[in-house]
Amino acid sequence: MDLHAPQIQGFFRIPVDDLYARSYLCDAIRAEGLAAPVVVSPDAGFAKKARMFASCLGAPLAIADKMRSDHSETAHVIDVIGEVDGCDAVLVDDFTISAGTLVEAAEQLVAKGARSVMAAVSHGVFAAGSMQRLDASPIRRLVTTDTIETQPVTLSQKVRVVSVAPLFAEAIRRIHQRESISVLFQS
């Protein structure tokens, strides 16, 4: 589900279908009742997928400008491209481990005038310290799927887990019946 890079499909010797959690996450975002949502990509690399979220939600798109200052995996959000002032910002990404980038982006969004910030990620890996970082952040809700079965940390009250089991079940049924799974992702 939501492979980090499409090239991953090529590493297998059997057919692999990439399933997408977007519709489930968008349903959860809609359930939050945001008055003026703006979808925010945490970096330019996720902008194309974030645009699909924006289209699904009928919302505009903004992009956090992230920069790596050295060869470590540490990145810093330095600006936000797009209008977020007075809006309910929705950060979207494929996964988070430390919640660091999400929190930095959320802080920038609040500094740029966002009324509220929530996040939606397909895979909540959540390493030690991530929940404390999330709890201390301006992110009021983080929606993730149940693709990670066991969590090494106790989830924050801010985290809402959405089940994608029905999507996997339908994909398995369709593959077994030799039916197309592409119909699962038409929007």
Are the C-beta atoms of residues 143 and 28 closer than 8 Å to each other?
A: yes
From 48, 49, 66, 158, the catalytic residue: 66
User: Closest Cα to residue 56, out of 84, 82, 20?
Assistant: 20
Bridge partners, residue 10, by sequence: none
CB-CB neighbours of 6 under 10 Å: 8
**66 counts as catalytic:** yes
Q: Which residues contact 183 (CB under 8 A, 6 or more apart)?
A: none
Bridge partners, residue 139, by sequence: 117
Active site residues: 66
